[in-house]
Amino acid sequence: MRINDALSGVLMYHKPPYSDTYIVNHLRVDYSYPYIFDYLTHEFAKIAAGDNIPRLNFEMDLGIEGLKRHKIALRPVECSNNSS
């Protein structure tokens, strides 16, 4: 994602064979823009919906408490208690 010609967000993902899920491997944003993480996530979800992909998997939280709280706030369909 570019804002004023500057790279402001990157999202890398893949779709495993025979799956109805996009797996997000990396998401990086310039937090000087308020809500940019949420915006990029929402825009990616619209792309997935257009591709008839009903699920997004944002992989692990790496044990980072703030990241874990944010991912839970996204209201996952399936949530493992083994997220560390």
pLDDT of residue 58: 82
Summarize pLDDT for 31-41 with one digit per residue, the tens: 999 999 999 99
φ, ψ (nearest 5 deg) of residue 41: -60, -45
pLDDT of residue 79: 55
Summarize pLDDT for 41-53 with one digit per residue, the tens: 999 999 999 999 9
Question: Taking the domains of the chain in order of start, what are their residue ranges?
Answer: 2-73
- Number of alpha carbons in the 13 Å side-chain half-sphere of residue 56: 21
* Binned average pLDDT, 10 residues per bin, the chain of 84 residues: 96 93 92 94 95 87 76 70 46
pLDDT of residue 51: 95
State the fold for domain 2-73. Aminopeptidase (3.40.630)
